[in-house]
Structure 1
Amino acid sequence: MESSEQSPAGPGSQDVNPVFLQQLRELDIPEEAAKQALLHTRNVSAEEAAMYYFNKLENEEEGDEDLLFKMVFIVNMELSMGMGKVAAQVGHAAVGLYQAMQEKNTWREMAWKWDHAGAKKVVLQGTNMAHLLELQALAMSLSLPTKLVNDAGLTQVEPGSTTVLAIMGEEDMVNNVTGSLKLL
Structure 2
Amino acid sequence: MEPSEDTGSNLASQEVNPVFLQQLRELDIPEEAAKQALLHTRNVSAEEAAMYYFNKLENEEEGDEDLLFKMVFVVNMDLGMGVGKVMEKRKHTFCQIAAQVGHAAVGLYQALQEKNSWREMAWKWDQSGAKKVVLQGTNVAHLLELQALALSLNLPTYLVQDAGLTQVESGSRTVLAIMGAEEMVNNVTGSLKLL
Q: TM-score range by the shorter chain?
A: 0.5 to 0.7
Q: Where do 1:32-181 residues align within 5 Å?
A: 62-83=62-83, 84-181=95-192
Helix, strand or coil at the partner of 1:75? strand
Distance 1:180 1:60 in 2: 28
CA RMSD of aligned residues (A): 1.3
Distance 2:59 2:128 in 1: 16
User: How far 1:109 sits from its partner (Å)?
Assistant: 0.2
Unaligned runs of 5+ in 1: 1-57
Identity of aligned residues (%): 84
Residue 182 of structure 1 corresponds to 193
Provide, for residues 16-36 of structure 1, a one-character-per-residue CA deviation record: whole Å limited to 9, x for no partner. xxxxxxxxxxxxxxxxxxxxx
TM normalised by structure 2 equals 0.63
User: How far 1:63 sits from its partner (Å)?
Assistant: 3.2
TM normalised by structure 1 equals 0.67
Distance 1:167 1:99 in 2: 13
Letter in 2 for 1:112: W
User: How far 1:88 sits from its partner (Å)?
Assistant: 0.3
Distance 1:168 1:71 in 2: 4
User: How far 1:65 sits from its partner (Å)?
Assistant: 1.1
Distance 1:63 1:124, change over 3 A: same
Unaligned runs of 5+ in 2: 1-57, 84-94
User: How far 1:170 sits from its partner (Å)?
Assistant: 0.3
Distance 2:99 2:189 in 1: 21
Letter in 2 for 1:169: G
Provide, for residues 23-57 of structure 1, a one-character-per-residue CA deviation record: whole Å limited to 9, x for no partner. xxxxxxxxxxxxxxxxxxxxxxxxxxxxxxxxxxx
